[in-house]
Structure 1
Amino acid sequence: MQPKTVILGSNFYTGLSIIRGLGAHGVHTVAMDYSYKNTYGARSRYLREHHIVPHYREHPEQLLQALIAYAKEQSTKPVLYPSVDPYVIFVDRYLDELRQYYLIPMTEQGLWSDIMDKGRLYELAARHGVLVPNSIHPDEERFEERVVADIGFPCIVKPTDSPAFVSKFREKNFLCLNIEDVRAAVGKAVDAKLNVIVQRVITGFDDQVYTFDAHLNQSSKVTHWMTCQKLRQFPIRFGASTFSKQKHIPELFDIGAPFLEAIGYKGFADIEFKKDATSGRFYMIEINARTTTLDPLFRKCGLNFPLILYRELTGQDIGTGYVQKDTGIAICFLIQDLIASRDYRRAKQLNVRQIVSSYFTRKAPAVWSFKDPMPGLHFSAIMAKKIIKRLLRA
């Protein structure tokens, strides 16, 4: 019997994309959530089962036992997909136990957590000769003096544990214009018992952010890859992509592939780089150790990373694949992009003509799909409720 797939989380773009990428090819998909609230991905016609399980943070041991119990009921090991960072951390924490019952690409417990921790990631990168932004930890000697002399302003106070930081502050980092801002930002993090670093801001507009996206097989060799360019993000300067396009940048393969192979990475990885406007050199910003919001764009360009992983883990031949030309295909998260576009205009970084012209390009479906309309309808209802609540508050 063909192995099932278990997707942890269907209340975000990534869960929906995994469901579609697998289900459209006849793979039995199972979504597991801690609540029915906002699980628009579970409305997909490609989902076969939907289960409510204990919360990954509040009851991790119970969630582990629920996953084991489900796997024991199956005739073959299911393939496990964490769709967002907290689930990646959960799977990594219990990797040795879960691998007894599930097919999971990573074999080294702790590696996912290491690369998600910015401090440990930058140590790994420096060890392998990959450029990273200058960073200083608040506990280091002459901290404030070195921030002023070596980092400069503006700078950012950035978490080593992004999921916990975002959960607490609803921001990815704190932008600081002077040393007083740095003191206040570090103080907030200390009060919240969160570890942070102060980091140099790489010069350049938001469209100088790029990604190297790859699948590494069980021998830690890159078999499939492509690169993308972020055009807009929200919040502007330090946010998540709202409009990105496929863009072939061979240099990113030359940097990203050797690094991932050297650290023994397996499965899908997304490395975010920023190109310094002054030097033209690429700096590693972070690594996503799970499917990203760009996944529909990858599929539209011919690389179905969730399916590639499934086929490899179930013993099928995956060959090799890459996108080595500019296709012009983009992906847009419209509601967030409209808000971001407003902010770019207010900051006088983009004008209306630049924004509008970007929409006239071939696009991958972020949520809406004529072949699978229900998630889009449910997502629209969720967004409408949020907008109405904000208007009522105003």
Structure 2
Amino acid sequence: MNKLNKAVILGCNYYIGLSTIRCLGVNGIHTVAVDYAGADTYGAESKYCSEQLIAPHYKKETKAFVQFLKEYASKENEKPVLIPCHDSYVEVIDEYLDELKESYLIPQTKKGLYSQVMNKEALHALAMEKGMLVPETVRVNEENFFEKIDTIIKYPCIVKPTDSPTFVATFRRKIFKVHNKEELEEALAKAEKAGLEVIVQRIIPGFDDHMYTFDAYLNQDSKVTHWVTCQKHRQYPINFGASVYTEQKYVPELYEIGAKFLEEIGFKGFAEIEFKKDADTGKYYLIEINARITNLNNLLYKVGVNFPYITYRELTGSPLPPKAVKEDKNRVFWYAYEDMLAIKGYIRTGQLTKGEVFKSLFKKKAYAIWDWQDPKPGMIFFRKTAGKMLKRK
């Protein structure tokens, strides 16, 4: 196998970038960590990180950032593989896809598709076109808006951004949950003031353990070659946040729904579809798609499917044989720091008992950050977190 191609990882100030570096470095791949600042990039402190680059800011200096990447690649004998670990990097890649593909190996070939599946309103329309179930949605500019909220959506409901990265950066949350007309008007006013487009959706009934993921890799023929399904147990912020305690769980229905959809839209590369199972009907609703490596990456690796390496091998001309995890491995992804915060919230609101939480903690773990074979990033993260807690006190 040719290992002359480097892997350029965008965004290593979070554990997604760290796990991507480890998944590639453990296989002898030269990894290049790219960030816009050197501080707090604990992913680059991994022993598997071969090189670290500080680039112009991807949003404040987008053209300079793209030029930086191109200039780096121009000095290489072989095209590097480009792997984004944050939505904002995916947006840049999509916007400059034709330009970047001249310098890098990137799985996606259809410009605009990344943005389409990341935009909540565009994804909603695409999913409906393909016969997927999606939560009932009302757009802010529709006629009889509040009447439709009362009759179709009902309270409580969620105000959801079409552009998640910008919304999260602005409000430090993924959605607004509102319980009445007054709260809805307030949420819409906040979004309008920030210049952000939002939609209003029905909340699919069911606790957080009704959230599932279908994680898959699609080759250059847009065929699913590798896949794993998982079940969330806890999120932070609770109920509408990111996974902090998620278990690999074989759910064949998710393959039947998810693979068909991704193949029909011509997707290539890694994607994670989030579903919610309706507690009343048992049907699965598409919630969102992540078009880049996700926070479950270490869990997927631990159960036998190394998505960053699968990406690297296919793009460099030596694809790995297809694989799916069709049994329960009884292993969970655990981001301990945020899970402790989540647990407080679940117990305070009566959604979980202390006994239920205690019992859950005895499963085999795939840690978000800690690795006995690569301890330095974990120690740096611990020191940083401890310092913040001491300052608060």
Shorter-chain TM-score: which interval?
over 0.9
The 3-state SS of whatever aligns with 2:206 is: coil
CA distance in 2, matches of 1:142, 1:96: 42
Q: Give the residue type in structure 1 aligned to 2:51.
A: E
The 3-state SS of whatever aligns with 1:141 is: coil
Q: Which residue is 1:41 aligned to?
A: 43
Deviations 1:283-307 (A, max 9, x none): 0000000000100000100000000
Deviations 1:275-325 (A, max 9, x none): 000111000000000000100000100000000000000000322000001
Which residue of the other structure, out of 103, 114, 117, is the alignment partner of 1:115? 117
CA distance in 2, matches of 1:242, 1:250: 23
Which residue of the other structure, out of 225, 231, 234, is the alignment partner of 1:232? 234
Q: Which residue is 1:12 aligned to?
A: 14
Q: Which residue is 1:267 aligned to?
A: 269
CA distance in 2, matches of 1:148, 1:68: 52
Q: Which residue is 2:212 aligned to?
A: 210
2:37 counterpart of 1:22: no
**Pairwise CA distance, 1:244:** 0.4
Q: Which residue is 1:90 aligned to?
A: 92
The 3-state SS of whatever aligns with 1:248 is: coil
The 3-state SS of whatever aligns with 1:71 is: helix
Of 114-123 and 356-365, more deviation after overlay is shown by 356-365
Contact persistence 2:81–2:312 (CA under 8 A) = yes
| Within-5 A mapping of 1:191-206 | 191-206=193-208
Q: Give the residue type in structure 1 aligned to 2:253.
A: E
CA distance in 2, matches of 1:317, 1:106: 16
Contact persistence 2:270–2:292 (CA under 8 A) = yes
CA distance in 2, matches of 1:207, 1:273: 11
CA distance in 1, matches of 2:170, 2:48: 34
The 3-state SS of whatever aligns with 1:273 is: strand
Contact persistence 2:310–2:319 (CA under 8 A) = no
CA distance in 2, matches of 1:276, 1:310: 36
Q: Which residue is 1:312 aligned to?
A: 314
Q: Give the residue type in structure 2 aligned to 1:285.
A: I
Q: Give the residue type in structure 2 aligned to 1:248.
A: Y
**Pairwise CA distance, 1:381:** 1.4
2:150 counterpart of 1:148: yes
Q: TM-score, normalised by structure 1?
A: 0.98
The 3-state SS of whatever aligns with 1:88 is: helix
Aligned residues: 391
The 3-state SS of whatever aligns with 2:215 is: strand
CA distance in 2, matches of 1:320, 1:275: 27
Deviations 1:248-295 (A, max 9, x none): 000001110000000000000000000000111000000000000100
Contact persistence 1:32–1:53 (CA under 8 A) = yes
The 3-state SS of whatever aligns with 1:211 is: strand
Q: Give the residue type in structure 2 aligned to 1:4.
A: K
Contact persistence 2:248–2:330 (CA under 8 A) = yes
Q: Give the residue type in structure 2 aligned to 1:271.
A: I
Contact persistence 2:237–2:342 (CA under 8 A) = yes
| Within-5 A mapping of 1:1-394 | 2-391=4-393
Q: Give the residue type in structure 1 aligned to 2:170.
A: K
CA distance in 1, matches of 2:234, 2:278: 17
**Pairwise CA distance, 1:168:** 0.5
Deviations 1:313-354 (A, max 9, x none): 000032200000111011111111011001110111111111
**Pairwise CA distance, 1:365:** 2.4
**Pairwise CA distance, 1:390:** 2.1
CA distance in 2, matches of 1:390, 1:84: 28
**Pairwise CA distance, 1:71:** 0.2
CA distance in 1, matches of 2:175, 2:391: 26
Q: Give the residue type in structure 2 aligned to 1:319.
A: P
CA distance in 1, matches of 2:39, 2:88: 17
Q: Unaligned stretches of 5+ in structure 1? A: none
**Pairwise CA distance, 1:357:** 1.2
Deviations 1:172-206 (A, max 9, x none): 01001011111111111011100000000000000
CA distance in 1, matches of 2:312, 2:138: 40
**Pairwise CA distance, 1:162:** 0.3
Contact persistence 1:148–1:179 (CA under 8 A) = no
Q: Give the residue type in structure 2 aligned to 1:254.
A: E
**Pairwise CA distance, 1:389:** 2.4
CA distance in 2, matches of 1:116, 1:387: 34
Contact persistence 2:73–2:80 (CA under 8 A) = yes
CA distance in 2, matches of 1:214, 1:16: 20
CA distance in 1, matches of 2:178, 2:158: 6
Computed over aligned residues only, the root mean square deviation of the Cα atoms, in angstroms, reads 0.7
Q: TM-score, normalised by structure 2?
A: 0.99
Q: Give the residue type in structure 2 aligned to 1:294.
A: L
Q: Give the residue type in structure 1 aligned to 2:189.
A: G
Q: Give the residue type in structure 1 aligned to 2:78.
A: T
